[in-house]
């Protein structure tokens, strides 16, 4: 069982995303445990002050160090491998490989910072700073949910079908092939014939070629790191010719 402890000033933001669909089932089946802690509960003054004016002046409020550090102390387990993560646009960029690495740990402590700031001394208690992308959210909460979802679904048993996570794009650095369901004809748009053929070898071949095509068209940067067979390279050069016969690739 993997344990996630989330430290936040806005615990209510987590209730609905954690109580639906895959994350809900994973908790019910004890594959993961997610505990959301209100940082305000770790304040010691009458007004439960979690933030304060910045020294040196300036806009916004800064999250105080003591409540956050108290909260880390309370949730950090004595055994098992835990990692304290701070979500911030200044962190290392999150991606699928990063998620795979985190999914092998037994406990993550995730601190959601306010974008305006968090007292710098909190960083002394943090193992890793993570950004989910080059844009600014108003707080780390949505980023924490992205991270939670991406990591939780990699834990064995969380997805019904054990192959689903590996089969997907980004695992082998290719984009997904197109999917279809009924009806077979819709507004003049037909499902590709090969998918109706029942020939699984032909279907797999078509899907793989479609993945290669999509990746070439939309994310050629991913192909540079993908492990490609001679057959893949042959398919790609055919697609390149077809896309732009005049061009020398
Ligand atoms: N907090 C605000 N923006 C963020 C981002 N892009 N990633 C992680 N945490 C954040």
Q: Is the torsion defined by CA of 84, 117, 13, 69 positive or negative?
A: positive
Beta carbons within 10 angstroms of residue 163's beta carbon: 8
Task: Please determine, for residue 138, whether its predicted confidence score (pLDDT) is greater than 60.
Answer: yes
The Å distance, Cα 86 to ligand 1 centre, comes to: 9
pLDDT mean over 16-23: 95
Query: Which residue lies with its CA nearest to atom 4 of ligand 1?
Result: 89
* Domain spanning 2-152: CATH 3.40.1280.10: yes
Give the 3-state DSSP-derived string for the chain, with helices as H, strands as E and coil as C. CEEEEEEECCHHHHHHHHCCHHHHHHHHCCCEEEEEEEHHHHCCCCCCCCEECCCCCCCCCEECHHHHHHHHHHHCCCCCCEEEEEEEEEEEECCHHHHHHHHCCCEEEEEECECCCECHHHHHHCCEEEECCCCCCCECHHHHHHHHHHHHCCCCCCCCCCCHHHHCCCCCCCCCCCCCCCCCEECCEECCHHHHCCCHHHHHHHHHHHHHHHHHHHCHHHHCCCCCCHHHHHHHHHHHHHHCCCCCC
State the closest ligand 1 atom to the C-alpha of 134, by its place in the atom list counted from 1.
Answer: 6
Residue 132 alpha carbon, nearest atom of ligand 1: 7
Q: What pLDDT is recorded for position 165? A: 63
Q: And the tokens for 153?
A: 């679904």
Paired tokens of 92 = 């290392």
> At the top level of CATH, which class does the domain 185-243 belong to?
mainly alpha
How high is the pLDDT of residue 226? 92
Q: How confident is the model at residue 26 (pLDDT cuts 50, 70, 90)?
A: very high
- For residue 183, say if its preceding peptide bond is cis, omega within 30 degrees of 0: yes
Residue owning the nearest CA to atom 9 of ligand 1: 88
What was the pLDDT predicted at 49?
97
Q: Taking the CB of residue 70, how many other CB atoms lie within 10 A of it?
A: 15
| Ligand 1 atom showing the smallest separation from residue 115 Cα | 2
Cβ(137) – ligand 1 distance below 6 Å:
yes
C-beta of 53 in contact with ligand 1 (< 6 A): no
Question: What pLDDT is attached to residue 244?
Answer: 86
Domain ranges in the chain are 2-152, 185-243
pLDDT band at residue 161 under the 50/70/90 scheme: confident
Tell me how far apart the alpha carbons of residues 201 and 209 are, in angstroms, rounded to a whole number. Answer: 12
- Model pLDDT, residue 107: 95
For residue 179, CA distances in Å to 174, 197, 202, 218, 234 come to 15, 15, 15, 17, 24
pLDDT at 235 over 80: yes
Residue-level pLDDT at 163: 64
Average pLDDT, the chain: 94
User: Is the shortest distance between the CB of 89 and ligand 1 below 6 Å?
Assistant: yes
- pLDDT at residue 166 above 60? no
Q: Which pLDDT belongs to residue 249? A: 61
Residue 248 clears pLDDT 80, i.e. is over it: no
Give this prediction's pTM.
0.92
**Which whole number is the average pLDDT over 209-223?**
97
- Is the Cα dihedral 14, 33, 92, 221 positive or negative? negative
Task: With cut-offs at 50, 70 and 90, classify the pLDDT of residue 153.
Answer: very high
For the Cβ of 140 lying below 6 angstroms from any atom of ligand 1, the answer is yes
User: Above 90 in pLDDT, residue 60?
Assistant: yes
- Please tell me if the CB atom of residue 133 comes closer than 6 angstroms to any atom of ligand 1: yes
Local confidence band at 114 (pLDDT 50, 70, 90 cut-offs): confident
Please name the residue that has the structure tokens 């949910």. Answer: 145
pLDDT digits 0-9 by tens, 172-214: 789 999 999 999 999 999 999 999 999 999 999 999 999 999 9
Q: Is the CB of 131 under 6 A from ligand 1?
A: yes
| Percent with pLDDT over 90 in the chain | 87
Q: Is 146 in the pocket of ligand 1 (CB under 6 A)?
A: no
């Amino acid at each position: 069982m993997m344990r996630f402890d989330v430290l936040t000033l806005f615990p209510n933001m987590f209730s609905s995303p954690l109580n639906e669909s895959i994350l809900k089932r994973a908790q019910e089946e004890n594959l993961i445990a997610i505990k959301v802690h209100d940082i305000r509960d770790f304040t010691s003054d009458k007004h439960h002050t979690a933030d304060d004016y910045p020294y040196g002046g300036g806009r916004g409020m800064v999250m105080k160090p003591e409540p956050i550090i108290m909260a880390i102390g309370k949730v950090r387990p004595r055994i098992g491998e835990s990692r304290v993560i701070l979500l911030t646009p200044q962190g290392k960029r999150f991606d699928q490989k990063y998620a795979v690495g985190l999914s092998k740990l037994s406990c993550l402590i995730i601190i959601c910072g306010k974008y305006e700031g968090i007292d710098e001394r909190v960083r002394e208690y943090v193992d890793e700073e993570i950004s989910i992308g080059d844009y600014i959210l108003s707080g780390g909460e949505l980023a924490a949910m992205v991270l939670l979802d991406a990591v939780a679904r990699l834990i064995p048993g969380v997805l019904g079908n054990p192959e689903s996570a590996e089969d997907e794009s980004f695992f082998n650095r290719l984009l997904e092939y197109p999917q279809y369901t009924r009806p077979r004809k819709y507004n003049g748009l037909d499902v590709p014939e090969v998918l109706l053929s029942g020939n699984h070898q032909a279907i797999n071949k078509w899907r793989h070629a479609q993945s290669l095509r999509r990746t070439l068209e939309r994310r050629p940067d991913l192909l540079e790191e993908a492990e490609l067979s001679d057959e893949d390279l042959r398919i790609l050069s055919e697609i390149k010719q077809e896309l732009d016969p005049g061009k020398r690739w």
